[in-house]
Amino acid sequence: MIAQVVLRDCVWQTNKIYDYLVPEQLQEKIREGQYVRVLFGKGNRAEVALVLNLKETSDSKYQLKTIDSLVEEEPVLNQEQLEILKFVVKRYACTYGSAMHQMVPALVTKRTGRSQLVVSLVSEELAREALESEAVGSIQQIRALEWLLDVEEMTLADLMQELSISRSPIDTLAKNGLVKIRSVKFTAEELQNKEKTEEELPEAIRSDITLNDEQQAAVDEVVNTEGKKEFLLFGVTGSGKTEVYLRITEQILKEGGSVLYLVPEISLTPQTVARIRAHFPTGIAVLHSRMTAKERYDSWKMIQRGEVNIVVGARSAVFAPIHNLKLIILDEEHDSSFKADTMLRYSARDVARFRANKAGIKLLLGSATPSVETFYAAKLGYIRLLTLKNRAVSGAVLPKVDIVDMQEEHAATNTSMFSRKLYKAMKDALSRGEQVMLLLNRRGFSQNVYCTSCRSMIRCPDCDVPMTLHTKTMGRHKLLICHYCGKVIPKPDTCPYCSSEYLAVRGDGVQKLEDWSSEDFPNARVIRMDQDTTSYRGAHEKILTAFRNHEADILVGTQMIAKGHDFPKVSVVGILGADSVLWQSDYRARERAFQLLAQISGRAGRGEVPGHVFIQTLSPDSEIYSFAATQDYERFFESEIKYREQLSYPPFKAIGGIMITHENEQACAMQANMVAGTFREMAANLGDDMMILGPCPAGIPRLMNRYRYQIVVRAKNKGMLSDGFAKLQQAYAGYGYSISTDIDAMW
Ligand code: ADP
Ligand code: ZN
Ligand code: ZN
């Protein structure tokens, strides 16, 4: 018997399927999807490999080696997942190793053979002291300490992945005696015997809602459709989409099937889970990135053993080994968090579509503001459109939206961040005991320090992007933070370039908005939510819960407050600085701006109180604002699809990207030129009208001490890009270049 295997820790040169002989004593036990030990290559290196396939004979012309042993009897991937693995490798032009890394939780991989490194605090006091003093040199170190104060310990790999940091800040913390890194060998028993800690859940809102006609029609349509089919539940915010998902889920469970329910990471709050648990008290597993490695492992094992029939999770849950899956729900399908921008740039929507198709089951997408691609597919009839036109709560209507021309405000010598209209509306709402939400699409003070003498902005020495001033202090100094790489320096007293003392602060940000709100409305309680206040586990839920419980009157935040939260007492929403989204240099800018505005407008007037939204802008005539003001998705779509077609943007053509990074700028430029040249030759042979632009420095030209060059590729479709990128990676296997590719690039 022959086993076809792929190496777990492969690089591009070894990204191949290898034939091995199955020894006599393993013939009975060997299964597809198992991890096995093999001796590999000339040096007979011991490697862990995955059995992809078993067969009787081999076509290999080499003398075959024999499999050494099983790592464990239980397969890590089932048949369905093996199919997904092959799909991911082909579609995203990645190695088997990186796909496996995504699909199998770290602990399952790690404990097979090796022990792993675990990071923990030396002591809590030391950590707190260090955070108070000037002892911690970078935001990565600060975040690592804050995180560990919260979770106590975590594997090194998970911590790095979680915080998107390299190993070096953690090593620095260890060197300074703040954390310890130790090697732990987890045994299967230790992992399995962990007592289940019941999640503390807020009181669930169990309701006995009678569906309205639109909702019922949507439920019936999905439930009564036989076999595989894709649906788009297109319903304005507050139209009761969640109720529809729950009813359909109920029906599937009754028939003995399982449901995978995917939501954006940020909407995966305890409230969301509680709402689902209220309907289905047992048989639910949750998977998301803020769980510790052990928690994730436990959930995954429960799913693998078939102990649950509902899996609720963020992006990566699309890979979960669910038994008897009959339906995949993907809520807020337009959300950019379904697209991974880490090593493997996959789209959970794509993978879900593949999975549903392959398994012959239903896929239900939902959104108030569907992505242009999805809605286009619905228009063409590939996806069945289910529409909810009305808000579900009787009496609740869409909010009134005012577009306020800020140029006029300035002309009328109003220098406040609030237009007169917004100010008055806030005042009235607060006096009636209602709540207000304010959104600004920038972080921190988003204040930059610049020199009035030489007119330079203080930039990150590593990344060359302007650094941002924060109110967080280091000793007596305010801090400047680079939001790309996280470098922190104390705000200097003089210009680093010309030594002038005349440094000025420019720009407005969420913190400033918080200050303005407190000043203008001294009796109101103001609470802020942005990435700086939500970096530790659970922070984000605490803020939202406090606001929902009316412990604050005004919620100030970045776009993260726009997503899927339900606040019945919010009657006024102010959107400041919407223009910055519209001005992004990306073909998706208009789509993003519309989605953001429509979603945040949808926050107002969800309960009994009617809502009023104010969009403050410098370009009040932009059609995007009027589409958003009327929440008119279809008109937006009609305009947008014409624009996309004219310029050959997706969904008419695919746009992909190749990124080359290097520590040295010249080397980076040179490699990028080589790669672009190679790819141009390949494209000519592929015989398609591929267009290759660049190379040129990327939008962020330098990140984490590495220079970045990008090549933009337009092709007929994503499949062409997948094939081309795989050939490109093969051609450069062994060169030591750092090349990453993306079949659906976003900038
Ligand atoms: P969406 O997900 O479309 O934004 P939700 O499902 O969150 O909307 O529903 C919004 C609100 O309307 C919720 O408070 C929900 O309980 C309520 N709701 C949903 N369907 C009905 C219904 N048929 N009758 C009354 N209230 C409903
Ligand atoms: Zn200067
Ligand atoms: Zn930087």
Structure tokens at 168: 């070096």
pLDDT digits (tens, 9 = 90+) for 618-650: 778 888 888 988 888 999 999 999 989 988 889
Give yes or no for residue 211 CB within 6 A of ligand 1: yes
Ligand in nearest proximity to the CA of 700? 3
Residue of 233, 236, 242 best suited for mutating to test ligand 1, as the one with most atoms within 8 Å of CB: 242
Question: Does the pLDDT at position 662 exceed 90?
Answer: yes
Taking ligand 2, which is a single-atom ion, which protein residues have CB atoms under 5 Å away? Answer: 451, 453-454, 495, 497-498, 500
Could you please report the per-residue DSSP string of 652-682?
Answer: SSEEEEEEEEESSHHHHHHHHHHHHHHHHHH
Task: Out of 58-72, 323-337, 429-443, give the one with best mean pLDDT.
Answer: 323-337
As a whole-number percent, the residues of the chain with pLDDT over 70 amount to 86
Alpha helices in 612-664 (DSSP H): 623-629, 633-646
Could you tell me the maximum CA-CA distance found in the chain, to the nearest angstrom? 88
Question: Does the pLDDT at position 564 exceed 70?
Answer: no
pLDDT digits (tens, 9 = 90+) for 565-590: 668 888 899 988 777 666 655 688 78
| Residues counted in the chain | 747
Give yes or no for residue 393 CB within 6 A of ligand 1: yes
pLDDT value, residue 444: 43
Give the C-alpha separation, 352 to 358, whole Å.
10
Distant-in-sequence, close-in-space partners of 674: CB < 8 Å, separation ≥ 6: none
CA–centroid distance, residue 566 to ligand 1 (Å): 10
CA–centroid distance, residue 559 to ligand 1 (Å): 23
Cis omega before residue 651 (within 30°)?
Answer: yes
pLDDT value, residue 198: 43
Question: Does the pLDDT at position 675 exceed 50?
Answer: yes
Do residues 693 and 710 lie in contact, with contact meaning Cβ atoms separated by under 8 Å?
Answer: no
Q: Which of 164-168, 393-397, 637-641, 712-716 has the lowest mean pLDDT?
A: 393-397
Q: Is the Cα torsion angle 716, 719, 724, 729 positive or negative in sign?
A: positive
Structure tokens at 403: 């577009």
pLDDT digits (tens, 9 = 90+) for 94-105: 999 989 988 887
Give yes or no for residue 272 CB within 6 A of ligand 1: no
Ligand in nearest proximity to the CA of 454? 2
Q: Which of 204-213, 418-427, 467-476, 643-652 has the lowest mean pLDDT?
A: 467-476
Question: Does the pLDDT at position 724 exceed 90?
Answer: yes
Query: Pick the residue with more confidence: 184 or 114?
Result: 184
CB neighbour burial string for 581-593, b if at least 16 within 10 angstroms, e if fewer: bbeeeebbbbbbb
For atom 4 of ligand 1, the residue with the nearest CA is 238
Residue of 210, 243, 248, 389 best suited for mutating to test ligand 1, as the one with most atoms within 8 Å of CB: 243
CB neighbour burial string for 152-186, b if at least 16 within 10 angstroms, e if fewer: ebbbbbbbbbbbebeeebbebbeeeebbeeeeeeb
Question: Does the pLDDT at position 192 exceed 60?
Answer: no
pLDDT digits (tens, 9 = 90+) for 486-540: 677 888 889 988 888 888 776 567 777 888 888 899 999 999 887 666 555 567 7
pLDDT digits (tens, 9 = 90+) for 120-134: 888 888 888 887 776
End-to-end CA distance of the chain: 49
pLDDT value, residue 38: 95
Question: Does the pLDDT at position 470 exceed 80?
Answer: no
pLDDT value, residue 135: 66
Res. 194 pLDDT band, cuts 50 70 90: very low
> What is the average per-residue pLDDT within 12-23?
94
Question: Does the pLDDT at position 432 exceed 90?
Answer: yes
pLDDT value, residue 610: 73
pLDDT value, residue 578: 73
Structure tokens at 720: 């062409």
For atom 5 of ligand 1, the residue with the nearest CA is 240
Give yes or no for residue 499 CB within 6 A of ligand 1: no
Query: Pick the residue with more confidence: 627 or 202?
Result: 627
How buried is residue 268: exposed, middle or buried, by Cβ count under 10 Å (0-12/13-18/19+)? Answer: buried
Give the C-alpha separation, 473 to 475, whole Å.
6
As a whole-number percent, the residues of the chain with pLDDT over 90 amount to 43
pLDDT value, residue 202: 44
Q: Which of 187-201, 571-585, 715-729 has the lowest mean pLDDT?
A: 187-201
Look up residue 491 and give its amino acid.
K
Cα distances from 554 to residues 144, 483, 523, in angstroms, run 30, 26, 11
For atom 20 of ligand 1, the residue with the nearest CA is 240
CA–centroid distance, residue 595 to ligand 1 (Å): 20
> What is the average per-residue pLDDT within 391-407?
79
Q: Is the Cα torsion angle 260, 262, 265, 268 positive or negative in sign?
A: negative
pLDDT value, residue 195: 39
Question: How many beta carbons lie within 10 A of that of residue 197, not counting itself?
Answer: 8
Give yes or no for residue 237 CB within 6 A of ligand 1: yes
Rounded to two decimals, what is the model's pTM? 0.81
Ligand in nearest proximity to the CA of 703? 3
Q: Which of 263-272, 354-363, 658-667 has the lowest mean pLDDT?
A: 263-272
- The angle that helices 139-151 and 124-132 make with each other, rounded to 10 degrees, is 150
Q: Is the Cα torsion angle 492, 498, 503, 506 positive or negative in sign?
A: negative
Q: Which of 7-21, 143-157, 224-238 has the lowest mean pLDDT?
A: 143-157
CA–centroid distance, residue 320 to ligand 1 (Å): 29
> What is the average per-residue pLDDT within 29-54?
93
Question: Does the pLDDT at position 376 exceed 60?
Answer: yes
pLDDT digits (tens, 9 = 90+) for 595-618: 888 887 776 655 667 788 999 987
pLDDT value, residue 417: 83
pLDDT value, residue 191: 42
Q: Residue 499 gets which letter from DSSP?
A: -
Give yes or no for residue 112 CB within 6 A of ligand 1: no
pLDDT value, residue 507: 59
Give yes or no for residue 599 CB within 6 A of ligand 1: no
Among all chains, which residue has been given the structure tokens 């008419």?
652
How buried is residue 433: exposed, middle or buried, by Cβ count under 10 Å (0-12/13-18/19+)? Answer: exposed
pLDDT value, residue 377: 97
Distant-in-sequence, close-in-space partners of 331: CB < 8 Å, separation ≥ 6: 241, 242, 245, 261, 262, 263, 264, 267, 366, 367, 564
Minimum-distance ligand 1 atom for the alpha carbon of 207: 16
Look up residue 246 and give its amino acid.
L
pLDDT value, residue 551: 94
Average pLDDT of the chain to the nearest whole number = 84
Ligand in nearest proximity to the CA of 496? 2
CA–centroid distance, residue 510 to ligand 2 (Å): 27
> What is the average per-residue pLDDT within 87-116?
79
Among all chains, which residue has been given the structure tokens 């492969």?
10
Res. 179 pLDDT band, cuts 50 70 90: very high
Give yes or no for residue 207 CB within 6 A of ligand 1: yes
